[in-house]
Amino acid sequence: MSGAHATTSVWLRAMPGVFVLIWSTGFIVAKFGLPYAPPLTFLVMRYVLSILCFLVWIQLSAAPWPTRRSQWGHLAVTGLLMHAGYLGGVWVAVKAGMGSGLVALMVGLQPVLTAVWISQWAGMKISRLQWLGLTLGLAGLLLVVWRKLGVGMEVSGFTLAAAVFALLSITAGTLYQKHFVSANDVRTANVIQLFAALLVTLPLMLFETEAINWNAKFIGAMAWSVLVLTVGGSSLLYLLLQRGAAMAVTSLLYLVPPTTALMAWALFGESITAATLVGTALTALGVSLVVRPSSAPKVHTS
């Protein structure tokens, strides 16, 4: 194996782990940035700056744009679901008082919804081992964030609706992208997705009245959101969905709440309990059962 091929192979194996680390910082960034700006205003700024970054990258690399009009439409739909819907729901819920642990718990149900959809409507069989993995992953997830449930006034009709909307959006977006979106250049695909999200979010932003408090934490949160979460995390998610089964990819999100808990401990001194450690182990085991090649979903044939 040549040096270039070896490097590529190592990178491909590392992509899921890197994705989990990056995605987990999304809840940390919310804790840094949302006290200083309304959620949709923050997201509009994030979308605009991310689009500009991608356009510069596209110009320097001469990245190709999709050639089929249908692909532009499919990418726009995934942008509405996976950016405007998912991010909008999460950030509105957190801003309105729902804790990041509870939001993570609800969004962490995505692999279960994905598995149910695949088994019921996509003509694919989920093995018993995979169902066991999904159950273990969910159990570990509950252990990690259970102590956050019922703390303060986190749950209201509004925050619950926003979190459920985020969950449904990321689930539908992941399935839609895997089914309808062909392999396109990740840079131009992201621009189309982000522009669609911007068009939807911008009018809603006009209803927000809170002013932005420009300070180092807000600027740092914005820079991380643009350069790491959107340019890095969204690109990795797109590449992973193009390379793997939708359920295997989304099951990685089971690792996000435990990873976020570890980050919160390191950055904010939040305690890590025995339940966190046991839940993390259960989650890791569950994910390994879901994504292992030997348990990949099989398509029924008649």
**pLDDT tens track for 3-19:** 555 555 555 566 777 87
Question: What pLDDT sits at residue 301?
Answer: 30
Banded pLDDT at 298 (limits 50, 70, 90): very low
**Which amino acid is it at 198?**
L
Closest CA to 104 of 59, 133, 146, 72: 146
Look up the domain containing 251 and give its range.
24-294
End-to-end CA distance of the chain: 41
Please list, residue by residue across 36-70, b when 16 or more beta carbons sit within 10 angstroms of its beta carbon and e when fewer do: bbbbbbbbbbbbebbbebbeebbeeeebeebeeee
86/259: higher pLDDT:
86
Closest CA to 110 of 249, 266, 259: 249
Taking the C-alpha atoms of residue 79 and residue 74, their distance in angstroms, rounded to an integer, is 9
Banded pLDDT at 224 (limits 50, 70, 90): very high
Domain assignment present for residue 94? The answer is yes
Banded pLDDT at 113 (limits 50, 70, 90): confident
pLDDT of residue 188 exceeding 60, the answer is yes
Domain assignment present for residue 157? The answer is yes
Cβ neighbours, 10 Å, residue 265: 13
**Which amino acid is it at 222?**
M
Between the CA of residue 177 and those of 56, 74, 146, what are the distances in Å?
Answer: 25, 7, 31
Banded pLDDT at 237 (limits 50, 70, 90): confident
Question: What pLDDT sits at residue 294?
Answer: 46
Q: What percent of the chain has pLDDT over 70?
A: 81
Domain assignment present for residue 2? The answer is no
Check: CB of residue 134 under 8 Å from CB of residue 292: no
Domain assignment present for residue 58? The answer is yes
Taking the C-alpha atoms of residue 217 and residue 221, their distance in angstroms, rounded to an integer, is 6
113/66: higher pLDDT:
66
Taking the C-alpha atoms of residue 268 and residue 97, their distance in angstroms, rounded to an integer, is 18
Domain assignment present for residue 16? The answer is no
Check: CB of residue 143 under 8 Å from CB of residue 279: yes
Run of H or E residues at 298: strand 298-299
Q: How many residues does the chain have?
A: 302
pLDDT of residue 104 exceeding 80, the answer is no
Domain assignment present for residue 12? The answer is no
Domain assignment present for residue 300? The answer is no
Domain assignment present for residue 62? The answer is yes
Domain count, the chain: 1
Check: CB of residue 40 under 8 Å from CB of residue 173: no
Question: What pLDDT sits at residue 17?
Answer: 76
Question: What pLDDT sits at residue 279?
Answer: 80
pLDDT of residue 232 exceeding 60, the answer is yes
For the segment 206-212, the average pLDDT, to the nearest whole number, is 94
Write down the mean pLDDT value for the chain: 81
pLDDT of residue 300 exceeding 50, the answer is no
